[in-house]
Amino acid sequence: MTDTLGAVARLLVVEDDDTIGGLLDRGLRSHGHEVVWCRSGRAALHEATIADFDLILLDLGLPDLDGFEVCRRVRAAAPGCVLVILTARDEEMDVVVGLEAGADDYLTKPFRYTELLARIRAHLRRGAGAAPTPEAYIVGDLTVDTAARRCSLRGHDVALRSKEFDLLARLAAEPNLAITRETLMADVWDENWHGSTKTLDVHVAALRRKLAAASENVDADIVSVPSIATLRGYGYRLESAPS
Q: Residue range 213-239: average pLDDT?
A: 87
Would the CATH topology of 10-127 be identical to that of 136-239? Answer: no
Positive or negative: CA dihedral 32, 134, 162, 113: negative
Distant-in-sequence contacts of 198-204, Cβ < 8 A, 24+ apart: 198/92, 198/95, 198/96, 198/99, 199/95, 199/99, 199/105, 199/106, 200/167, 202/96, 202/99, 202/100, 203/99, 203/163, 203/164, 203/167, 204/167, 204/228, 204/230, 204/236
Instruction: Please give the Cα distance from 230 to 214 (Å, whole number).
Output: 21
Question: In angstroms, rounded to a whole number, what is the distance separating the alpha carbons of residues 79 and 8?
Answer: 20
* Bridge partners (DSSP) listed for residue 142: 139, 153
User: For the chain, what percent of residues have pLDDT higher than 70?
Assistant: 87
Break the chain into its structural domains and give their ranges. Answer: 10-127, 136-239
**3-class DSSP string for 190-230:** CCCCCCCCHHHHHHHHHHHHHHHHHHHHCCCCCCCCCEEEE
Average pLDDT of the chain is 85
Cβ 128 vs Cβ 162: under 8 Å: no
Q: Domain 136-239 belongs to what architecture? A: Orthogonal Bundle (1.10)
Range of weakest confidence among 2-6, 15-19, 26-30, 213-217: 2-6
pTM of the model: 0.65
pLDDT for 99-157, tens place per residue? 888 888 888 888 888 878 878 887 777 655 444 455 789 998 999 998 888 999 988 89
Domain 10-127, CATH among 3.40.50.2300, 3.40.50.720, 3.60.15.10, 3.30.930.10: 3.40.50.2300
Q: What is the pLDDT of residue 217?
A: 80
Q: Given a cut of 80, is residue 4 above it in pLDDT?
A: no
**Rounded to whole angstroms, how far apart are CA atoms 130 and 223?**
34
pLDDT band, residue 44 (cuts 50/70/90): very high
Average of pLDDT values for 67-89? 87
